[in-house]
Amino acid sequence: MVFEFELGRLLVCPGRKLCGMLYSQKVDPEAPIVVSGISARHGIIPIHITSSSEVLGTVQVLAFVDVSKSDVSIEQLAAEFEATGKVKVLEVIKPTLDGLLIDTASDWLTIGGSRALIVPELCYGQLINGVKERFGSGGEAFLYHEGIEAGRGFGRMHLAIAAAIGITDPAVVFEKVSAPMLQWGGAGKVESVRIGESGGSISVRSLYECEGTKGKGRPYGTMFRGVLAGILRELFGRDFEVEETECVAKGDEMCSFVLRGK
């Protein structure tokens, strides 16, 4: 079974009065209970709440709420939050249009301290497929090599995470860090992974690059092949050949890749 996780930070709710707040909250088991209690007392309905990782005893929280039936303004609510001593309000977020609330408080996004972008399928799908369809084999070669460079960046991130928990074996890093993080990053659902010094294999269901390509009649995961090759180069310190042996674009159930060390 495949589960989706909605990142949020954007709400489209016609007919509802929306507001948001970005605040720093102490890592205290009572803090979320107090905040929730204040919100409930004033008839405020939480719609989307997310938080960052802990830094120096606090987490940064982004909350989108429906204030249609609230008996206080968002500014009054912020003041009550701060009066608890457990919250520091960083910014109140007002809707850009009625029924439309967008996180305009966060200046940019980061993952493990590295800046990140959110690129939805309507954008990356057009980008990848447009290059393939317009430039043919030349476009696919370009995407493959771009994938390698992206994969090398991912590989360095994976090595840093593994080093922080004392893991140095590249095969273990690929299986226990890289493969789960490919799924974490939205590449698809990793169904199986096997890796050793000489090579291995990995299978991914609903691979981002191949969604909606059924009927193409050939493997379509060109960029992802490059991503895998780049990750493996960083982890093992040598080149790997990556071949897509199964692909939904040619009627297979999922996309599978054979990894061969050079």
pLDDT in tens, 210-253: 988 887 788 999 999 999 999 999 999 999 999 999 999 999 99
Q: What range does the domain containing 50 cover?
A: 10-107
Residues 30 and 148 in one domain: no
Examine the domain organization and report whether 83 and 198 are in the same domain: no
Q: Could you tell me the two tokens for 51? A: 């938080």
Regarding whether 244 and 132 lie in a shared domain, the answer is yes
Q: Are residues 122 and 89 located together in one domain of the fold?
A: no
The domain boundary, picked from 73, 107, 141, lies at: 107
User: Residue 38: what pLDDT?
Assistant: 95
CATH of the domain at 96: 3.30.70.60
Last residue of a domain, one of 107, 137, 167: 107
For residue range 53-99, what is the model confidence (pLDDT) as tens digits? 888 899 999 999 999 999 999 999 999 999 999 999 999 999 999 99
> Is there a domain that residue 152 lies in?
yes
Given this model, what pLDDT does residue 2 score? 64
Total count of domains within the chain = 2
Same domain for 93 and 219, yes or no, is: no
Co-location of 132 and 247 in the same domain: yes
Query: Crossing angle, helix 121-164 and helix 222-236, to 10 degrees?
Result: 10
Integer Cα distance of 72 and 58 in angstroms: 26
The residue from 70, 85, 107 where one domain ends is 107
- 151 in any annotated domain: yes
124's enclosing H/E stretch is helix 121-164
pLDDT given at position 228: 97
Query: Based on the domain organization, do 204 and 223 belong to the same domain?
Result: yes
Report pLDDT for 262: 86
What per-residue confidence (pLDDT) applies to 55? Answer: 87
In a domain, 137, yes or no: yes
CATH code assigned at 223: 3.30.1380.20
Q: 113 pLDDT exceeds 90?
A: no
Q: Do 168 and 87 share a domain, yes or no?
A: no
What is the identity of the amino acid at 119? V
Output the average pLDDT for the chain.
92
- Tokens 């080093």, residue? 163
Position 62 scores a pLDDT of 95
What 3-state class would DSSP assign to 243?
strand
What is the pTM assigned to this prediction? 0.85
Same domain, yes or no: 86 and 191: no
